[in-house]
Structure 1
Amino acid sequence: MTAAGHWRSVIDGASPLISADELVSCLNDPTVKVFDVRGTWSTPARALPGDYAEGHIDGAVFLDWTKHFNAQDVAIGLAPIADEASAHGSFAALGIDADDLVVLYDASSHMLAGRMWLAMRHWGFANVRVLNGGWPHWKARNLPMSRTTAQPGEGTFEPRLADGLKVDLGGFMTLQASACVIDARGPVSYNGTADDLRSGHIPGSINVPYSAVLDPETGLFLDPAAVHDTLDRLAPDWRSKPVIATCGSGYAATVILLALAQIGAPGTLFDGSFAVWKQDPARPVAQSSA
């Protein structure tokens, strides 16, 4: 069996997630490229290469989420997914080839890895998975770790646009009336505060916090049946309308999109999300009581 054949025999191609056990079984496969996407939104928003240097999944390459697959000419909180030329540069710099399996992980409830997952898929790279549970789960299980810095070669993947995975502001405004718009932020951000009238949420959006699709004890995604139940309870229109996921800047929303993909349901990211929406004072903002 070829190296690529090994990971294809291990990984369910329909799932956006890979379990720790699945990754361990193909960790030495040269066509499996693992990327550490750890970072923080704490001011300033940044990647955390120091955390990577202190220990990471054996063989993982560090991926700076602020520099790859995001536009560089705008503040990170407003930055859309990068254009084709920039995406091409990132695939090349990270050593990604068309026949690879890419695995992404973070320590931020999957939202940074999820953003990179969405961006890669947006540019036509389908063989990308997010490690279920991320770094905390891997570390808790004492799975193979290293402090050796891994250096990628030059990748050859050629990006090609995949339609329907994300919309910009104009696309969102066209589609929102007929969509189930899910806001993945926590209730405090979704509700807004009386002393900031531009806080709150997009009118008509429904709050499904990203944490609602994760097990609070393990950080793993809920099983598919529980994801169905959670969505039915919090956003019943998700079955009858196309889902557009939004959040603060287009990161937490990807956790909802991962959960949807896990159950085989489509979903679209509003890139830029509430941070972009609230820029124009003429666009309405809704607030809710706690």
Structure 2
Amino acid sequence: MDAVQILLLASVQGFTEFLPISSSGHLILTPGLLGYALQSLAFDVAVHLGTLAAVVLYFRHELLTMTLAIGGSIRHRSLVNPNAQLGWMLLLATLPILVLGFPLKSLLEFIRGDPQLVALVIASTTVGFGLLLWLADGVGKRRRDEYHLGWGTALLIGLFQAIAIIPGTSRSGITMTAGLFLGLTRKAASRFSFLLSIPTILIAGLMETHHLIASPVPVAWGELWLGTFLSFIVAYLTISVFLRYIERMSMLPFVLYRLILGLLIYWIILF
């Protein structure tokens, strides 16, 4: 990979990971549209780890508070503290990806091997889940914050997140959609989605890193580190701006973008 390709893909990942428009879909589409060979899954994981570092840094105070609150809830066997409850709900919402991750990862690798199929899947999920996001934003009550999720609602959001391993779905988009359907405000749905990305990306990153270390195939670690750093910078800026403005805007701009992108992919496939 040359420096321009690394910069482009890392920026795409950093910008799209926390917007409801699918980072995985863009990481697959971008090299195809620009004539590059599809980058390795290892590079995809590397730039995801960059976005992980960004979200951890952004929510560092909340993460420390939740960790201490969870410790207190274990000692006192109580969930009265809202920070402890939020922390436990995030852990619960992570369970579905642990159970469904392996079979869905096999599906992802199968899809990535067929350019025609992957384009069709991305187009379909981009449009379909974009319309679902629009519906959730329209009918959701938007009355609760992320500190008032129950066990059932957290688990449901986690089940929605597991679907996002399919390219074009958007992990942030599908979890925001679930949150909005369940009555969260736009900002609360976004914050819960961003916080939920931390254990999810960490698990995937650790698994792939172990695979890379154990593999006899040479790894271009310099490219991976550069991609990680660049995606970190872009992701941090994206989180900051998105959370600042999300309550004053609807999800409609992202829905329209998804519809246009999906229809464009269909057009390219068919014509």
TM-score bucket of the superposed structures, by smaller chain = under 0.3
Higher-strand-fraction structure: 1
RCO comparison, higher one (Cα < 8 Å, 6+): 2
Higher-helix-fraction structure: 2
